[in-house]
Every structure is written in C-alpha cells, then in structure tokens.
Amino acid sequence: MEKAIEILKENNYKVTKQRTDLINYLKNFTIYYVSINDIVDYMRSLYPGMSNNTIYRNLKEFSDIGLVEYQEKDRTLVKYQCDFKHRHHHHFVCKNCGRVTELKACPIEFFTDQLPGYTVEGHAIEVYGLCADCTKKLKEQE
C-alpha cells in the first residue's frame, strides 16, 4: 500500500479515501484478474453514489502510472501490479483456475529480428495453459 501511495503522489494524484479503498480492494488481485464489474460492485457497496465514470477513470489513471494491469479478452479484467520494479513483463495465465504467474524474460528480440525495417511500438505476451497445481490435480484424476 505504501508503494502505491508513493506512486500516486509522484504522479501528482490526490490520495483520497476512494482511491485508497480501491487500491486496498485491488491488492487482493495480484495473482488473479478481477472483472471491472466486480470492482464497480465493490466500490458502489462503499460509495453508493459513485459513478461508473469515476471508477473507470481511476482504473485508467492507475494503469497509466503502473498500479494495475489490464487484460482484454471477452471482457475487461484488471489486476494489481505484481512487480513495481519491472513494469514491463509478461504472464502465464492458468486456463483452469485463473492464476497469473509473472514471466521474467521478454522475447521481443525474437520477433523484431523477423521484422527488418518494421517499427514495433509495443507488445504484450500472455502464455496460457495449466498451472502446476491444476496440472497435478488433473494427473491425479486420470
């Protein structure tokens, strides 16, 4: 929490009760993504009059300064930043339980080597499969 507050202040954002409560909720999601609908429901339980705009704007600002990470699939999911020291990183996502594991290596050179003359402006890599726990459970069921 201290690091998140420090990042807010460094980026000239006010440390409000609403932002603090939002960060406290998001801290529960460092190894799993949470849907924005769940975030909205939670924040509305604390602040019934809070608008969707306010919640979405805060999440966007949190993303811009590296407090949260987005995943775009069939719906938008958010998770609390798992590594403040290395904002650029990739993930393995378990298709069974949803656990997110940070990958330390970045293979961008493998791709850029295949694109001579191209300008790569960004990338995001997620690897999907079964985590070790889910793999073990599956093997035990066989």
7-39 pLDDT, tens digit each: 899 999 999 999 999 999 999 998 898 999 999
Domain end residue (candidates: 27, 59, 80): 80
Q: How far apart are CA 69 and CA 78, in angstroms?
A: 6
Residue 85 has what pLDDT?
62
Is 82 a known ligand-binding residue? no
- Whether residue 90 is annotated as binding a ligand: the answer is no
Average pLDDT of 78-88? Answer: 68
88 has binding-site annotation: yes
Q: Is 109 annotated as a binding residue?
A: yes
Q: In 3D, which of 71, 45, 85 has the Cα closest to residue 126?
A: 71
Is 131 labeled as ligand-binding?
yes
Which pLDDT score is estimated for 101?
85
- Assess whether pLDDT exceeds 80 at residue 87: no
The answer to the question of residue 137 being in a domain is yes
Is residue 75 located within the same domain as residue 10?
Answer: yes
Domain limit, last residue, from 28, 45, 80: 80
> CA 123 to CA 71: how far, in whole Å?
13
Domain count, the chain: 2
Is 85 inside any structural domain?
no
Are 68 and 100 members of one domain? no
Query: Rounded distance, CA 24 to CA 45, Å?
Result: 14
Q: Which residue has the tokens 């001579």?
A: 116
Assess if residue 67 is contained within a domain.
Answer: yes
94 among annotated binding-site residues: yes
Q: Does residue 125 belong to any structural domain of this protein?
A: yes
* Beta strands 100-103 and 90-94, pairing class: antiparallel
Domain that holds residue 107: 90-141
Question: What average pLDDT score do residues 45-58 get?
Answer: 95
Is there a single domain that holds both residue 59 and residue 128? no
Instruction: Note whether residue 19 is domain-resident.
Output: yes
Query: Looking at the DSSP assignment, which residues form a beta bridge with residue 100?
Result: 93
Mean per-residue pLDDT of the chain = 87
Using CA atoms, how far residue 63 sits from 7, 26, 29, 121, 131, in Å, is 12, 12, 14, 18, 26
Q: Is 97 annotated as a binding residue?
A: yes
pLDDT number for residue 83: 60
Sign (positive/negative) of CA torsion 123, 52, 80, 37? negative
| Structure token digits, residue 44 | 């509305």
User: Of the candidates 28, 62, 80, which is a domain's last residue?
Assistant: 80
Q: What is the pLDDT of residue 56?
A: 93
Residue spans of alpha helices (H) in 27-131: 36-46, 52-64, 108-112
